[in-house]
Chains A and B, each alone.
Chain A
Amino acid sequence: MSQPVITLQQISYLGPVLVIVLTVLVLLMTDVICRLRPSRQGLSLLTGFGVALGGSIVALVYSIFLWHRLTVLKVGKLAELFPVNGPPRSVSAMETSPVWSSGTLVVDYFAVFVCLLVCGVLILVCFNFKPYLRINKLHRSELFPLLLLSASGMMLLSMSRDLLSTFISIEIVSLPLYVLCGLNERSRANQESSLKYFLLGAFGSGFFIYGASLVYGAVGHMNYAAIAYFAKHSLESSSILMIGLALVGAGLAFKLALVPFHAWVPDVYQGAPTPVTAFMAAGVKLAVFAAALRLVLEAFPLMDLSFWRGSISLLAALSMVVGNLLALHQMSAKRLLAYSAIAHTGYIAVGLASGLSTSATSILIYLVGYALAGLGAFTLISYLAPDGQDDIYLDEMHELSKRAPVSALAFAILMLSMAGFPLTLGFVGKLMVFSDAWRAGLYGLVIFAVLNSVISVYYYLRFILAMYMQPKAPGAAELVLKRMPGTYILTGIITVVLTLLLGVIPHMLIAWAQSCQLAGL
């Protein structure tokens, strides 16, 4: 065994993560120093926001730099960090020399692209938080550090190529989010959401790590390369490996909210502060799907695929139908988006089930579309929500198009993108994911998914019709419209413009996403 050496240059490829973590440390330390002053005031909201935003922008620029470097060097990956190698012990006694080698973390096109997206989501969520904290009078200096820590976990998650580092990254993502959900200790809904998210999130982690330990037992390593190698060379099919991977899949399904592991989603999404919900919908989904993609494409391809395809397809079909049916009669906008998030997870899982090498491209495009629509919609919800309610209901939205025409139009466009109307990014994403599955031969699943997206149009249109067509019922509550804070306007414009622009001319995004191949083993 050669001693693994990690050079400074290799560590510099982790730049986006390091920048974010450094920003967290700076924020925490300046907060402590600020509290030493006679006034004992922590870091002000504006400073915290500024530093967090600065850090995220630097990380974004760093990711673009890494992307540029990848294209200049014409390599599939920049670095494999913390390499491990060796024969899985259980294969056979004949092979004793190291025959495979793989990094625990890998910086390839796919990881850098996900880092870019996470930075983008982070910036928009920071924009959302500033007015939210001011309006709800929450002076929490630990908020931005927690948010950034969670984002750093998302970046690591996209690089992980090992069940253990995936587990640790998932925990880095989740632990700050549990706290963020309970941001407002005066709000019962926040606390409830926090507790439910924590208990079910930790339950899911338990499944994941027990499954990972069984995989370790079968293979002798937790590395994806080792799993793939073992599956190829092992003579007997190992039931322990199968059970282990199934439990790992269940753990990931908890985090992704695939039915039947979805029970926490509606309560957590509805009860959490709206910007945190936006972060969960856009960021967590993106990162965990990135991890699931890497697992499926790197560790599974040499295995008997039909079994995995079958089980992922089943979960996808269940998620689509349960999410859509339960969303049909929701009155609360946040709860509606929560159920629709379950359905969207189902659509993306269709892409996961196809397991082609192009799946990464289509799933990333779908996730970009979903993240933009989700971020925009939750921004508008937190703008329109009455004080102390942090949510809007269908009957409050009647005639909104007359009173707030621009917000209503933006909301309508984002809903249409979620429903998958042509000329929006949501349509491009759905088209690519479904055509992938069609090419993989999953005809029944694709037809089922298309039927489901038709059902989903009903509940998105219900909100749009309420805003545009239906007169206000006498005595119904009316939203009090305030001046829209500048950062909300900015987030709204960015999300709506990108949704339409990339929906009409998606070529550039598709070209980028097409170069996002996984580095392979």
Chain B
Amino acid sequence: MSDMSVVVSNSLFLSAVLFTIGVLGVMIRRHPVIIFMCIELMLNAANLALVAFNDYHYSKAWPALDGQVYAFMVIAIAAAEVAVGLAIIVALFKRRERVDVDEINLLRG
């Protein structure tokens, strides 16, 4: 991939960084909402990569916008995940004052 434009390769680099931040955040942070934000970061890294790769694949001979359409699909899925996830976290908040994944430890063994 030597013919990649600077914009595309920079975007890909950024998306890799975002994805790494997301993965590390999920592993390190303890608050469910922050963990969830990190997961969203991972999905957005994928979106950025999709759009950048679309630009890389786009040509006069094959003017397809697949990657950008895929990104919209991923956005829609992420929105559905937010709806379900925040509802679950709010339901937990209702029963306890603090929500911390270290304290959610009824099930173990």
* Chain A residues in the interface with B (C-beta under 8 A): 86-87, 89-90, 96, 164, 167-168, 171, 175, 178-179, 182, 185, 188-189, 191-196, 198-199, 202-203, 205-207, 209-210, 212-214, 216-217, 220-222, 240, 266-267, 270-271, 330, 332, 335
Q: Which residue of A lies closest to B27 (CB)?
A: A203
B63-106 Cβ-contact flags toward A at 8 Å (1 or 0): 01011001001100100110011011101100100000100101
Known: A178-B88, A188-B95, A206-B22. A195 touches B104 (CB 8 A): yes
Known: A182-B91, A195-B32. A188 touches B26 (CB 8 A): no
Contacts of B87 in A (CB 8 A): 179
Partner of A164, one of B23, B70, B95, B104: B70
Instruction: Report the Cα distance A212→B45, complex, angstroms.
Output: 12
Known: A179-B88, A206-B39, A266-B109. A164 touches B46 (CB 8 A): no
Known: A171-B81, A195-B104. A202 touches B57 (CB 8 A): no
The answer to whether B104 touches A216 (Cβ under 8 A) is no
The answer to whether A189 touches B107 (Cβ under 8 A) is yes
Instruction: Report the Cα distance A199→B85, complex, angstroms.
Output: 8
Contacts of B73 in A (CB 8 A): 164, 168
The answer to whether B88 touches A182 (Cβ under 8 A) is yes
Least distance between A385 CB and chain B CB atoms (Å)? 16
Instruction: Report the Cα distance A273→B62, complex, angstroms.
Output: 51
Least distance between A200 CB and chain B CB atoms (Å)? 9
Instruction: Report the Cα distance A213→B44, complex, angstroms.
Output: 11
Known: A164-B73, A213-B49. A195 touches B42 (CB 8 A): no
The answer to whether A198 touches B84 (Cβ under 8 A) is yes
Q: Which residue of B lies closest to A326 (CB)?
A: B109
Pull 15 A–B residue pairs with CB atoms less than 8 Å apart, ordered by A: A89-B59, A167-B77, A189-B106, A192-B104, A198-B85, A202-B36, A202-B39, A203-B26, A206-B42, A209-B42, A210-B46, A213-B15, A217-B12, A217-B49, A330-B109
Contacts of A240 in B (CB 8 A): 1
Known: A196-B104, A209-B46. A216 touches B70 (CB 8 A): yes
The answer to whether B107 touches A202 (Cβ under 8 A) is no
Contacts of B19 in A (CB 8 A): 206, 210
Q: Which residue of A lies closest to B71 (CB)?
A: A213
Q: Which residue of A lies closest to B70 (CB)?
A: A164
Least distance between A24 CB and chain B CB atoms (Å)? 15
New A-B pairs, 13, CB < 8 Å, besides A164-B70, A202-B39, A213-B15: A171-B77, A182-B91, A189-B106, A193-B107, A195-B88, A206-B19, A209-B43, A212-B46, A216-B50, A216-B67, A217-B52, A217-B53, A266-B107
Least distance between A81 CB and chain B CB atoms (Å)? 16
Known: A220-B57, A266-B107. A210 touches B62 (CB 8 A): no
Q: Which residue of A lies closest to B109 (CB)?
A: A335
Contacts of B91 in A (CB 8 A): 182, 185, 191, 194
Instruction: Report the Cα distance A160→B36, complex, angstroms.
Output: 27
Instruction: Report the Cα distance A34→B91, complex, angstroms.
Output: 26
